[in-house]
Every structure is written in C-alpha cells, then in structure tokens.
Amino acid sequence: MEDVAARTLGRVAANGIELAYETFGEAGAPPVVLIMGLGMQMIAWPDELCEGLARRGLFVVRFDNRDAGESTHLRNLPPPRLADVVVRRRLPPYSISDMAADVAGLLDALGLGEVHLVGASMGGFIAQAVALEHPARVRSLTLMMTSTGSRRVGQARPKVYARLLRSRPVIGRPAAIAAAVETFRLIGSRGFAFDEEYVRDVTGRSLDRGVDPAGYRRQLAASVSQPNRTADLRRITVPTLVMHGLHDPLVAPSGGLAVARAIPRSRFVGFSGMGHDLPRALWPEFVNQIAALADLGEQRRRQ
C-alpha cells in the first residue's frame, strides 16, 4: 500500500497568535481539520486515526489550540479562579468564538478554503462556532462527545465535574502521568479495554511539549461561559454527523442528542460502552464515519 501518511510539522500566525500544527497525507486532497478538547493537545488525536483518514484520500490537519502544547500560551491574561469559573462571576479571558477565529486564521495561513471540520468535546464547541460564524469555511461537520452550550443537557456526573475542577497541584512527571491515568479511568470507556500504556504515552509526550495549568483554566472559563447555541444550530446546512458515547460521564449523551436534534438533517451515531475518550477499538469506525461524511460533503460540493 502506498504510504500516504507523510507528515509535516509547522507553526503559523493565526488571529494574532501562533498555532502549531501537523498534517498527514497529500496537500491537494480534500482537507479535514481536527479540533481537540479541553486541556488536550493535537497528539490526543491518535496517529493511527490520522493516518487512516489520509489513506482514505484526505489531507488531515491537527493542531494545538491556544494555551495548549506548542501553540501560543496567553500568559499575559491572568487565569480565572476556579470559583469564578463555576459561578460565571467574571468574563473569561477569551471565548469559544475567539478560538473559532483561531481556526479560521489557521485555514487562511494554510491556504485552505472550505474544510471538513471534526471537533471533540470542547473542540466540538469550537467547531460549531466555526460553522455558525464562518460558514463559508465548512464543507461538513463531525461533532464528537459534545453539546449545545445549554445547561439543560450534556451535564457531567457530579463526581466527574468535581474532578474537572480539582485544583490540587500535581508536582513531578510520575504524579502527572498517574493523575492522567486516574482521570481517564474515571471518564473513559468502561465498555472497552482501558489502554493504560497509551494514556501514559500520550501524557508523557504532552508533558514534553508543554503542559499549562493556567492555560487549562482559561480554556475551561471559555467553555463554561459559552452561549446556548441550540436555536442558532438550526442555521447549519452542511452535512453533519454527531458521534457520542452512550456511557459518557463527562458530557452526557443528552448533549450530543440535543445537537443532532437542532441541526437539520444531521445524523446521530451512539456507541454503547464508550465514555469521554477515543477507545482504540473504535478508531477504524471513526475513520469510516468521518471519511464517509467527507465523501458526502464532496459530492454535495460538486453538485
């Protein structure tokens, strides 16, 4: 089989900051842009998933959001206190809309017009904002383990929410890796084998690239303060797929179902036993679903 998983690393100016990115596949192929979630780096999109999409004839772009990994960390913006985040006492240092503008800036810098957009968790919030605020940039939309912004749906289980807000500092590499393992045992897919070695590997590489607790709080503030997009989602007309774990303890399935109900002609795919992670056993299915939707978007574009 021809190796189509050629990779390119780089940094580009976008929306007044710099974003680190990586690509897989041929630059002339239909582009797919992957947006990761809260506190996570682009390497949380598994290499095998990215390579699988490239082998399906897609040009794959993954990148670090602001305040994550090797992208710009906005250290000039004081991080909010967690107590202020919870009660929405103060405006966040930046918004989900600002992060959507980052994506539009990334597309400009890479010379990409319309793309197939894939967002997971907070990345799904951002992807929805891109589709609403920069609609000319989106050919298709895949939303994974995400919600509408309404506080009526998609709420975390109380003990999981408490874990998300836990402020106890983690000191040292072994402790940080152990904390990540603990977190993913809590929020991950109970219906699939827990891949501790993979979690440890991704966490270790993330630590090497740069972990920023203050940046995490700024991202969390943006997520908590996002608006309810339910009514606006009815304006989205591109082919849309919503995938959600039916046993997600962090973003309840009601969030994904609400997104699918709001976006006209969208399709919902639920996975029994899947929590708030990307279990290895489902990587081939994720590739199939994303590639099929991209094909539909390409067909529609040619009509």
What pLDDT shows up at residue 259? 98
What pLDDT shows up at residue 1? 38
* Distance, CA of 281 to CA of 271 (rounded, Å): 11
Instruction: For residue 268, list its beta bridge partners.
Output: 242
* Distance, CA of 183 to CA of 37 (rounded, Å): 14
Read off the DSSP letter of residue 139. Answer: E
What pLDDT shows up at residue 169? 67
List of residues 6+ apart from 210 with CB closer than 8 A: 69, 70, 73
Of the candidates 268, 239, 230, which has an alpha carbon nearest to the alpha carbon of residue 145? 268
Of the candidates 146, 148, 96, which has an alpha carbon nearest to the alpha carbon of residue 124? 146
Spans in the chain with pLDDT lower than 50? 1-2
Q: Where are the beta strands (DSSP E) in the chain?
A: 7-14, 17-24, 31-35, 59-63, 115-120, 138-144, 240-245, 267-271
What pLDDT shows up at residue 84? 75
Kindly state the tokens that stand for 214: 């203050």
The H or E element that residue 129 is part of is helix 122-133
What pLDDT shows up at residue 194? 96
Domain coordinates in residue numbering, the chain:
7-302
CATH H superfamily, domain 7-302:
Alpha/Beta hydrolase fold, catalytic domain (3.40.50.1820)
List of residues 6+ apart from 77 with CB closer than 8 A: 93, 94, 218
* Distance, CA of 8 to CA of 24 (rounded, Å): 7
Distance of CA 152 to the CA centre of its chain: 21
* Distance, CA of 183 to CA of 277 (rounded, Å): 11
What pLDDT shows up at residue 7? 76
What pLDDT shows up at residue 225? 92
Please state whether 25 falls in left (phi above 0), alpha (psi between -120 and 50) or beta: left
Instruction: For residue 244, list its beta bridge partners.
Output: 270
Task: Measure the CA angle with vertex 99, ends 269 and 218; round to 5°.
Answer: 105
SS3 107: helix
**Is residue 75 within 8 Å of 210, Cβ to Cβ?**
no
